[in-house]
Amino acid sequence: MGARTELGSPLFLLNLKAYPRSIGTGAREMGRTLAQFSKMTGVSVAIAPTPPLVGLLASELTIPVLAQHADPFEAGARTGHVPPAAVRASGAVGSLVNHSEHRLPRDAIAAVVRLLEAEGLTAVVCAGDVAESRELAALCKPPYLAVEPPELIGGDVSVSRAKPEVIRATVEAVHQVSPATRVLCGAGIKNAEDVRRSLELGAEGVLVASAVANARDPPAAIQELLGGFPSAPAHRAPTPPAAAPGTG
């Protein structure tokens, strides 16, 4: 299989989940906006849409698209499952694995990560705390591990504010057992300051959902969050393209 797509670091990974606003045309608009702001700011981004939209968004967008889930199966007689081979065929470059809202048994996590790797896809393995992060990093040495305390997911208080020690300790624990794994953090991340703190605590990016996917004004939410990345001056306005000589 081909080489894995490099997602970049620090990374803004947007999980669209399946909010009423983030399915259908909402997902396409959020994806286009995220691609546009990534281009303007230079921040590395990726998006994980609801399963029925993975192929469409992968064909429409210029940014990496990930599946929200994959199953530990080869391609074959499977109904409603998501084999990594189907993720690759859809044009996506990787998948979340073991998200808090779609947990898998340990042996399935290891098997999915192996199958994703065999397909040249990037695994972002999710864990709920420091101990689970260490265990899963040791088990499957994934390219990315995202720590998300379940009780903070979807709330208004971010992991970087409520549990900064979890981010710091996860980075340390994961790097002890799998030095090449990049640690992301998520849960309740709502603004640029939450992103800045996460990166200061050692995370190489953030995994965000409701702040954008359930927002009344997703472009404003994306702009705010990307403002927390070092290469993105907060609230930088888009630069209009320069007029060609003689056309002004």
Q: Retrieve residue 58's tokens.
A: 């992968």
Residue 45 lies near ligand G3P (rule: CB under 6 A): no
Residue 22 lies near ligand G3P (rule: CB under 6 A): no
Minimum distance from CB of 153 to ligand G3P (Å)?
4
Q: State the catalytic residue, choosing from 99, 117, 132, 224.
A: 99
For residues 19 and 50, give the distance between their C-alpha atoms in angstroms, rounded to a whole number: 9
For residues 37 and 104, give the distance between their C-alpha atoms in angstroms, rounded to a whole number: 34
For residues 216 and 170, give the distance between their C-alpha atoms in angstroms, rounded to a whole number: 33
Minimum distance from CB of 118 to ligand G3P (Å)?
25
Question: What are phi and psi for residue 94, nearest 5 degrees?
Answer: 175, -170
Residue 153 lies near ligand G3P (rule: CB under 6 A): yes
Minimum distance from CB of 87 to ligand G3P (Å)?
17
Q: Retrieve residue 52's tokens.
A: 């029925």
When the beta carbons of 57 and 153 are compared against ligand G3P, the nearer one is 153
Residue 186 lies near ligand G3P (rule: CB under 6 A): yes
Angle between helices 192-200 and 218-226 (to 10 degrees): 30
Residue 178 lies near ligand G3P (rule: CB under 6 A): no
Report residue 178 CA to chain centroid gap: 20
Q: Retrieve residue 167's tokens.
A: 């981010």
> Is 99 assigned a catalytic role?
yes
Residues from 94 through 123 that contact ligand G3P (CB under 6 A): 99-100
Buried/exposed 55-70: b ≥16 CB within 10 Å, e otherwise: bbbbeebebbbbbbbb
Residue 223 lies near ligand G3P (rule: CB under 6 A): no
Residue 7 lies near ligand G3P (rule: CB under 6 A): no
When the beta carbons of 85 and 98 are compared against ligand G3P, the nearer one is 98
Which of the ranges 24-32, 39-47, 202-210, 239-247 carries the binding residues for ligand G3P, by CB under 6 A? Answer: 202-210
For residues 117 and 29, give the distance between their C-alpha atoms in angstroms, rounded to a whole number: 30
> Is 204 assigned a catalytic role?
no
Contact status, residue 160 vs residue 167, Cβ threshold 8 Å: yes
Residue 187 lies near ligand G3P (rule: CB under 6 A): yes
Residue 210 lies near ligand G3P (rule: CB under 6 A): yes
Residues annotated as catalytic (active site), given as ranges: 99, 148
| Residues near ligand G3P, by CB under 6 A | 15, 99-100, 148, 153-154, 186-189, 207-211
